[in-house]
């Protein structure tokens, strides 16, 4: 049986990474876990997020995946080293790819970062950016209202737009030329974020670069699937699946419309 790439997030956010994986690696099978019952992770203490991440990884290991992708910045910031120490398969996070993508893009060396309270508090982006380029200027802003809004499927509403406007206002007068969407939920709000920040600011989602990392690791280790079949992906969520399923089907429609997808009953862990 084909070994899958296991992807986790607090909810629907990691689907932004899954979409890129499906685009770049169409024959790879994905098993996804969204912890919708316990979302958002952003306001939670680091120790709790670490504990939840461990639980989900333990759950996903029963499917014998070939790789774990922590498609959540909040969990990557506080749990990736812990998970790497616990499993023998590759573990990919979203912070280093996002930082790398921003460094490639910036001309001015002034980069904005938005994320959850947990991610911004951890300063994981500052660390990752300065590891690549020590002189970089980073302007960080926590936007705790955004992910819960996305989780409710309300990302195209007027209310969502005004919350984006309000959340980004502290960054509007900063001299940045790139803004890292340091939460995997934020690409759902791309249109509003881009309208608010204007054409001078390039938005960086780590999804694309993360999918490239996944592809590189699979080929370096000769772990790519040899199958040319269309994979049967599996999606799990810990809360009620109705909204989760709607968002996922809509977001991934070009990649899963003709692909058999197994939707599982909610699993509370
Ligand atoms: N998608 C998540 C992230 O990238 C977490 C959002 C949340 O649960 O607060 O940080």
pLDDT of residue 267 exceeding 80, the answer is no
- Catalytic residue, chosen from 72, 143, 178, 237, is 72
Average pLDDT over the chain, rounded to an integer:
94
Reported as a single tens digit per residue, the pLDDT across 2-57 is: 899 999 999 999 999 999 999 999 999 999 999 999 999 999 999 999 999 999 99
Give pLDDT, residue 261.
66
How many H-runs (helices) and E-runs (strands) does the chain carry? Answer: 12, 10
Q: Which residue owns the Cα nearest ligand 1 atom 2?
A: 72
* Catalytic status, residue 72: yes
Reported as a single tens digit per residue, the pLDDT across 46-65 is: 999 999 999 999 999 999 99
pLDDT of residue 259 exceeding 60, the answer is no
pLDDT of residue 76 exceeding 70, the answer is yes
Ligand 1 nearest-atom number relative to CA 42: 9
118 known member of a binding site: no
Ligand 1 nearest-atom number relative to CA 185: 1
Give pLDDT, residue 55.
94
The CATH code that applies to domain 95-206 is 3.40.50.1860
Give pLDDT, residue 241.
86
- CB distance 147 to 183 below 8 Å: yes
The CATH code that applies to domain 5-93+208-264 is 3.40.50.1860
14 known member of a binding site: no
Listed in order, the ranges of the chain carrying CATH 3.40.50.1860 are 5-93+208-264, 95-206
Distance 148 CA to ligand 1 centre (A): 9
Tokens 């890292």 label which residue?
A: 180
Classify residue 110 as left (phi > 0), alpha (psi -120 to 50) or beta.
Answer: beta
């Amino acid at each position: 049986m084909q070994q899958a790439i296991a992807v986790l997030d607090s909810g629907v956010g990691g689907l932004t990474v899954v979409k890129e994986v499906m685009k770049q690696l169409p024959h790879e099978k994905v098993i996804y876990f969204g912890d919708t019952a316990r979302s958002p992770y952003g306001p939670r203490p680091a120790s709790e997020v670490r504990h939840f991440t461990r639980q989900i990884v333990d759950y996903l290991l029963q499917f014998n995946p070939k790789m774990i992708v922590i498609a959540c910045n909040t969990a990557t910031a506080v749990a990736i080293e812990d998970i790497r120490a616990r499993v023998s398969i590759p573990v990919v996070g979203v912070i280093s790819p996002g930082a790398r993508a921003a460094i490639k893009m910036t001309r001015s060396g002034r980069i904005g970062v938005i994320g959850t309270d947990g991610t911004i508090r951890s300063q994981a982006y500052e660390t990752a950016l300065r590891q690549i380029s020590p002189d970089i200027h980073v302007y960080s802003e926590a936007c705790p209202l955004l992910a819960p809004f996305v989780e409710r499927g309300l990302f195209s509403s007027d209310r969502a737009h005004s919350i984006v406007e309000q959340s980004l206002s502290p960054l509007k007068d900063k001299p940045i030329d790139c803004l890292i969407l340091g939460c995997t939920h934020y690409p759902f709000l791309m249109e509003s974020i881009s309208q608010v920040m204007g054409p001078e600011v390039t938005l960086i989602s780590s999804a694309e670069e993360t999918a490239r990392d996944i592809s590189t690791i699979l080929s370096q280790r000769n772990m790519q699937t040899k199958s040319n079949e269309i994979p049967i992906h599996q999606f799990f969520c810990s809360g009620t699946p109705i909204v989760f399923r709607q968002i996922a089907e809509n977001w991934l429609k070009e990649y899963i419309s003709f692909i058999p997808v197994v939707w599982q009953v909610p699993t509370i862990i």
